[in-house]
Amino acid sequence: MYRKMVEIRKFEEHVWDVYTRGWMPGLAHLYIGEEAVATGACSALRDDDYITSTHRGHGHCLAKGARLEPMMAEIMGKEAGYCRGKGGSMHIADMSVGNLGANGIVGGGFGIATGAALSAKTRGTDQVAVCFFGDGAANQGIFMETANMASVWNLPVIYLCENNQYGEHTPFQAVTGVDEIADRAHGFGMEGTRVDGSDALAVHDVVRHAVERAREGGGPTLVEALTYRFRGHHVGDAAPYRTKEELEWWMSNRDPIELLGREMRRRRIATQAQLDEVQTETETAVVAAVEFARQAPYPEPEQAFEDVYSE
């Protein structure tokens, strides 16, 4: 779990670097600061379980099993990318490990994840689906529609709200009628829990419990993970809408990698030297992925006209 979180952090730091050097086109929404949510949740899933991700999706993809090279290649628009350059940062998917895709529409995953859960139930498997979404998506109408169907049909889906406290530039309290999004679960007729989204172990425990219940036919759960993004909405957003003090407090006190590392040292699971080694190894792997992606060829322009329809 520690290694995965470090991998996500380093990956995102390099995306920032790649972006500012002009090596990638488009937009990049970084997951730095939120690593515990994707990692804690996906470590409670099997490969054949499903997730849907968001525009801030790199962390979910890596946590669900995506490899660094095709991730970075996709972000640079290369043929070797997961979507062969057709999706980019906001649309990375890897069906082979149950990642049904990041989504450029806020709330775009609700229907797909709930449909995957309906499919699992209808086909008689015990797969579950986790729908990652943000505090912004919590105010989309389709959340109510799909959560209601999941509740009434007892579908194996976990709605995992990453409340990073800002919907783009707007504080979530300014546009949300409840203090805790988890409270909305009662209105849907399902269980709701809020968890410390900086604590990977806590996220893992809550999600594992929800997954076990869903597998056994216990139906859906709404989990709200309170977290914070350490960077702007996207690379280039200096985030003037929040205070320096607030940002510094979260970075100093609630860095999920620091917190897990401290806990591992406290429980004597790992020494600082071992954790440092993970950092070094991961940095090397991400640097190699950047180099791989830079060297990888672009798709042929004619490929723009392929994959619109399944033949």
Least distance to other proteins from the beta carbon of 84, Å?
Answer: 4
Q: Of 252 and 310, which has the nearer Cβ to other proteins?
A: 310
- Residue 142 CB, nearest distance to other proteins (Å)? 5
Residue 86 CB, nearest approach to other proteins (Å): 5
Minimum distance between the CB of residue 221 and other proteins, rounded to whole angstroms? 18
Footprint on this chain of other proteins (rule: CB under 8 A): 50, 52, 81-87, 91, 93-95, 100-101, 103-105, 108, 110-120, 122-123, 129, 141-142, 145-146, 148-149, 152, 306-311
- The strand pair at 191-196 and 170-171 is best described as unpaired
Taking residue 162's Cβ as centre, other Cβ atoms within 10 Å add up to: 31
Q: Which is nearer to other proteins, 91 or 294 (CB)?
A: 91
Residue 142 or 251 with smaller CB distance to other proteins: 142
Considering beta carbons, is residue 160 or 195 the nearer one to other proteins? 160
Using DSSP, state whether 131 is helix, strand or coil.
strand
Cβ 210 to other proteins, closest distance in Å?
Answer: 19
Q: Alpha carbon of 304 to those of 18, 44, 74, 209, 298: distances in Å? A: 24, 37, 15, 44, 12
Place of tokens 């590392």: 261
Q: Which is nearer to other proteins, 25 or 171 (CB)?
A: 25
Q: Where are the alpha helices (DSSP H) in the chain?
A: 2-20, 35-42, 58-63, 68-75, 109-123, 141-152, 172-175, 184-188, 200-215, 244-253, 256-266, 272-295
- Judged by DSSP in three states, 129 sits in strand
Residues in the chain: 311
